[in-house]
Amino acid sequence: MMSVSVYEVLAVIACAGHLALAFASALRSARSPLAPTLAVFCLVMFGWNLSVLLYRLSRAAEWYILDVAISPLTTPLMLHFVLAFVGLRRRLAWLLWLAYAGFVAFALVSLGAFFGGWPVRFVHSSTWSIVHLAGALPLLTLAIWVVTRHLRRQISPAEKVRTRLVLAALAIGGVLATTELWAGAGLRVPRLGPLGTLLIAALLAVVALRYRLFEKNLSVLAAVDAVAIACVALLGYFVVYRFLAASTAALVVASAVLLLLLGVVAWRTVSASLVRRSRMERLALLGRFSAQLAHDLKNPLAALKGATQFLQEERARGRSIDGQEEFLRLLSAECDRLTRLVDKYRRLGSLEPEREDTCINDLVRDTLRVGQLASASGVEIQTELAPDLPPVCVDADLLGVALENVVRNAAESLHGSGRIEVRTEPAGPAGVCITVTDDGVGMDARQKERAFDEFFTTKASGSGLGLSLVRRVVEAHGGHVSLHSREGVGTVVRLRLPAS
């Protein structure tokens, strides 16, 4: 069996590793949905390792109670991280809520040992470990299975490496961490919990630092800062322990204060990052909106300028403009077009559809022609429009903007070369479906789950207003939008609309 001194050394290293990874994750929390979950998971693992270590050093019952109260929280957090990693967090949200409810209730019952009574006997019995194992093992098995399935579906070499490292963290680190529960249940196995949690932190740190777990690699400076903060914080804990070891109550209070301070530092870091991200998103949205507005206004303004210059030249040469009804009609028509554009953008902001019966095939042709989306020489757009589709009662301007955005996103995913197919077909007994298919770079599971989120983009500078607008436009018409994508294969977006 592992000696006590080695166990304590591993616990200290695990504390430092988890605290460093928690701060490193907090720095990326504004950019990745994985980062906040991993940060909280690492803080909980830090608290568990610290309580185990201090119980080993002091043998005070309070630290043991903190140990058994904190450890159940690791299981739902682990499941949360895994489901976010494989893109199933929203689809299996019900399971996640059940896991959190069950394990938080278990942790609260364990925390009741501070007040005496039957919870004290419960947390010191083998029954506690058996109950914990009964809840944790199925979820750990499920997590390993979904990550294994995710690995089998991957084509991208980088995603395969990330998935293998996460799978190793679960399979090796998770199994070693559960040895504490097996030993508590009465089996004669070595207690390798600190070693298991240390391996989990190390493997996930490699994924974060080297393989873009958070969509962008952590900088070396950020990693050094996180390790420095972790070491200073851990040193503070041991200084507190050195001076307050004689008073367990004072030690617990001081440790709680230090943990609270760590939480405040992490929260301030996250808050500052969130504020910066919010400002950048507003600027990005304004820039994309302005670019789209400028694109739409360019043609009618050019027509107005050309017609006006022609009439001015006619007058300058002493000619009458009484016979130039065609140019006068053009001026009037382009002014009307500008008025419609301004009204379209007003309705685009408030999503107030002005519906009328529309031929979907005509809308598709007009959108592709006016948008000039095939301007890139290597991008080929094919259409397959089903005949005799029923008319749909929609706002043609709003739906045209949504379709244009989908096709433009598809074109940009091709990086200048590839094929886009736009197809219309009946959808059920009464409805139509517009399908846009590309053979571009595709999306990984995490990007696919967030594709319809506000401001989300996989490009450094995306055009249009994003798939979130597409979803809102289609749903405002009583329809539904879906997306299927595989990294390295391509993306399919379907807009289903009810018939009028």
Number of domains in the chain: 3
Please indicate, yes or no, if residue 278 is contained in any of the structural domains: no
**How far apart, in whole angstroms, are the C-alpha atoms of residue 255 and residue 260?**
9
**How far apart, in whole angstroms, are the C-alpha atoms of residue 252 and residue 258?**
10
For residue 300, the enclosing domain spans 284-350
Please indicate, yes or no, if residue 184 is contained in any of the structural domains: yes
pTM of the model: 0.73
Helix (H) or strand (E) segment spanning residue 434:
strand 431-438
The DSSP code for 452 is: T
- Cα 418 to Cα 378, 388, 410: the distances in Å are 6, 30, 10
**How far apart, in whole angstroms, are the C-alpha atoms of residue 359 and residue 390?**
8
- Give the residue carrying structure tokens 């991993």: 38
**Could you tell me the CATH number of the domain that includes residue 313?**
1.10.287
Nearest to 450 by CA among 151, 147, 31, 28: 31
Based on the domain organization, do 42 and 105 belong to the same domain? yes
Please indicate, yes or no, if residue 269 is contained in any of the structural domains: no
Give the pairing of strands 480-486 and 490-498.
Answer: antiparallel
Domain end among 197, 227, 246 = 246
**Could you tell me the CATH number of the domain that includes residue 149?**
1.20.1070
Q: Which pLDDT score, from 0 to 100, does residue 388 have?
A: 82
- The most distant pair of C-alpha atoms in the chain lies apart, rounded to whole Å, by 108
Based on the domain organization, do 74 and 100 belong to the same domain? yes
Give the pairing of strands 378-385 and 356-358.
Answer: unpaired
Please indicate, yes or no, if residue 315 is contained in any of the structural domains: yes
Measure the CA angle with vertex 420, ends 154 and 389; round to 5°: 115
Can you list the alpha helix ranges (DSSP code H) found in 86-192?
A: 93-111, 118-123, 126-152, 157-168, 174-177, 179-184
Assign 435 to helix, strand or coil: strand
Based on the domain organization, do 388 and 345 belong to the same domain? no
Based on the domain organization, do 188 and 143 belong to the same domain? yes
Buried b (16+ CB within 10 A) or exposed e, 335-357: eebbeebeebbebbeeeebeeee
Based on the domain organization, do 212 and 65 belong to the same domain? yes
Based on the domain organization, do 416 and 340 belong to the same domain? no
pLDDT in tens, the chain (500 residues): 444 567 777 777 777 777 777 777 776 655 666 778 888 888 888 888 888 877 887 787 888 888 899 899 999 999 999 999 998 998 899 999 999 999 999 999 998 998 888 989 999 999 999 999 999 999 999 999 999 999 998 888 888 888 999 999 999 888 888 999 999 888 888 888 888 888 888 888 888 777 677 665 555 555 555 556 556 555 655 555 555 554 554 455 445 545 555 555 555 555 555 555 555 655 555 555 666 666 666 656 666 677 777 777 777 777 766 666 666 666 666 676 666 666 666 666 656 677 888 888 888 887 787 555 445 556 788 888 888 888 888 888 778 878 888 888 888 888 767 888 999 888 877 788 999 998 888 888 888 888 887 666 665 554 445 687 788 888 888 888 999 988 888 899 999 988 76
Do residues 475 and 428 make contact, with C-beta atoms less than 8 angstroms apart?
no
**φ, ψ (nearest 5 deg) of residue 331:** -60, -45
Buried b (16+ CB within 10 A) or exposed e, 230-246: beebbeebeebbeebee
Do residues 45 and 200 make contact, with C-beta atoms less than 8 angstroms apart?
yes
Cα first-last separation, the chain: 74
Based on the domain organization, do 360 and 336 belong to the same domain? no
Q: Which pLDDT score, from 0 to 100, does residue 168 have?
A: 93
Please indicate, yes or no, if residue 102 is contained in any of the structural domains: yes
Based on the domain organization, do 81 and 201 belong to the same domain? yes
Domain end among 217, 246, 275 = 246
Please indicate, yes or no, if residue 272 is contained in any of the structural domains: no
Based on the domain organization, do 225 and 362 belong to the same domain? no
Based on the domain organization, do 361 and 484 belong to the same domain? yes
Q: What is the DSSP string of 86-111?
A: TT-TTTTHHHHHHHHHHHHHHHHHHH
Measure the CA angle with vertex 460, ends 298 and 21; round to 5°: 155
Provide long-range contacts, Cβ within 8 A and 24+ apart, for 337-346: 337/300, 338/297, 338/300, 338/301, 338/304, 340/397, 341/293, 341/296, 341/297, 341/300, 344/397, 344/398, 344/401, 345/293
Based on the domain organization, do 460 and 486 belong to the same domain? yes
**φ, ψ (nearest 5 deg) of residue 96:** -65, -40
Please indicate, yes or no, if residue 273 is contained in any of the structural domains: no
Question: Which pair of structure tokens corresponds to residue 224?
Answer: 């050094």
Please indicate, yes or no, if residue 325 is contained in any of the structural domains: yes
Do residues 285 and 455 make contact, with C-beta atoms less than 8 angstroms apart?
yes
Based on the domain organization, do 319 and 170 belong to the same domain? no
